[in-house]
Amino acid sequence: MTFRRGVLIVLEGVDRAGKSTQCARLVQALQQNGRRAEIIRFPDRTTQIGQLISSYLEKKSNLEDHTVHLLFSANRWELVPLIREKLEQGINLVVDRYAFSGVAFTSAKPGFSLDWCKQPDVGLPKPDLVMFLQLSPEVAAQRGQFGAERYEISSFQQTVQQRFEEIRNDTSINWKVIDASRSIEEVHTDIKSASEKTIDVAQHLPVGELWR
Ligand code: ADP
Ligand code: 2DT
Ligand code: MG
């Protein structure tokens, strides 16, 4: 039997688009189909770097904007050995936010270019598929109020949405835009089908390098 690696599938999108809900549903569905699958989320708030980030997001501490950007990136790099190990073991990884959130959120701040924001993440394991859960701010608002975390302000989120649109012009990435305004089940059906197709193709290919 030829060896098949796990694939790296990322879900991105604005706040309340349904990323966390759909990551959990996808992992469950892949497992039910007899595949190995696990969830990873960024930021991973459990590590020492993740705790610095979490405290910043909860507004319990302040960090300079470049510094926190580099910490978000470092939080991905510290997980790379684990990510590579899992993929090599044939475990499919479903990732709740990745470097695209990193670029979209920091570049929504004044004085940050997309290009500068991308640099620290150049060379990360490249996702085989990035699904962008598309949702208008109006529909997102119907899904409940913002929480109290640092970036949960509607004017900032609108700028983040614009940055995501720019980032999606990057044709080196396998993007799939998903209409996230539908029911959880309808969205899930699309996400599962795109993921299964990606697994069939990408499991035979080497893992790429992001933005390189
Ligand atoms: P995200 O991780 O993108 O911020 P969540 O998965 O946490 O989004 O979902 C935000 C809220 O919206 C939750 O209360 C969730 O139950 C609800 N929700 C998720 N998907 C849908 C959907 N397709 N339709 C309606 N409500 C949804
Ligand atoms: P959630 O835990 O609710 O997803 O919110 N963020 C995330 C960044 O600014 N840079 C990054 O690199 C990443 C991964 C998005 C986490 C918040 O952190 C922001 C919302
Ligand atoms: Mg979430």
Asked, for residue 212, whether it belongs to a domain, the answer is no
How many Å lie between the centroid of ligand 1 and the Cα of residue 140?
Answer: 8
Residue 3: which residues within 8 A CB-CB, separation 6 or more? 90
At residue 1, the pLDDT reads 52
Residue nearest to atom 22 of ligand 1 (CA): 184
Q: State which of 143, 152, 190 you would mutate to test the pocket of ligand 1, scoring each by most atoms of that ligand within 8 A of its C-beta.
A: 143
Residue 24: which residues within 8 A CB-CB, separation 6 or more? 39
Ligand 1 contact via 145 beta carbon (within 6 Å) = no
List, as one string, the DSSP characters of the chain.
-------EEEEEESTTSSHHHHHHHHHHHHHHTT--EEEEESS-TTSHHHHHHHHHHTTSS---HHHHHHHHHHHHHTTHHHHHHHHHTT-EEEEES-HHHHHHHHHTSTT--HHHHHGGGTTSBPPSEEEEEE--HHHHHHT----SSTT--HHHHHHHHHHHHHHTT-TTS-EEEEETTS-HHHHHHHHHHHHHHHHHHHTTS---BTT-
State whether the Cα torsion 56-13-92-202 is positive or negative: negative
Ligand 3 is an ion; residues with CB less than 5 A from it: 19-20
Residue nearest to atom 3 of ligand 2 (CA): 15
Residue 33: which residues within 8 A CB-CB, separation 6 or more? 196
At residue 138, the pLDDT reads 84
Q: Which atom of ligand 1 is nearest to the CA of 187?
A: 23
Asked, for residue 207, whether it belongs to a domain, the answer is no
Residue nearest to atom 23 of ligand 1 (CA): 184
Asked, for residue 129, whether it belongs to a domain, the answer is yes
Number of structural domains in the chain: 1
Asked, for residue 211, whether it belongs to a domain, the answer is no
The ipTM (two decimal places) reads: 0.99
Q: Which atom of ligand 2 is nearest to the CA of 45?
A: 2
At residue 33, the pLDDT reads 97
Integer Cα distance of 34 and 20 in angstroms? 22
Asked, for residue 209, whether it belongs to a domain, the answer is no
Residue 121: which residues within 8 A CB-CB, separation 6 or more? 73, 76, 99, 102, 103, 210, 211
Residue 83 structural domain: 8-202
Asked, for residue 136, whether it belongs to a domain, the answer is yes
Question: Could you list the pLDDT tens digit for every one of the 212 residues in the chain?
Answer: 567 999 999 999 989 999 999 999 999 999 999 999 999 999 999 999 999 999 999 999 999 999 999 999 999 999 999 999 999 999 999 999 999 999 999 999 999 999 999 999 999 999 999 999 999 988 988 998 889 999 999 899 999 999 999 999 999 999 999 999 999 999 999 999 999 999 999 999 999 999 99
CATH number reported for the structural domain that contains residue 19 in this entry: 3.40.50.300
Ligand 2 contact via 102 beta carbon (within 6 Å) = yes
How many Å lie between the centroid of ligand 2 and the Cα of residue 85?
Answer: 24
Q: Residue 166's Cα: distance from chain center in Å?
A: 16
Asked, for residue 3, whether it belongs to a domain, the answer is no
Structural contact between residues 92 and 207, judged by C-beta atoms closer than 8 angstroms: no
Task: Indicate yes or no: pTM above 0.90.
Answer: yes
Asked, for residue 208, whether it belongs to a domain, the answer is no
Q: State which of 39, 53, 97 you would mutate to test the pocket of ligand 2, scoring each by most atoms of that ligand within 8 A of its C-beta.
A: 97
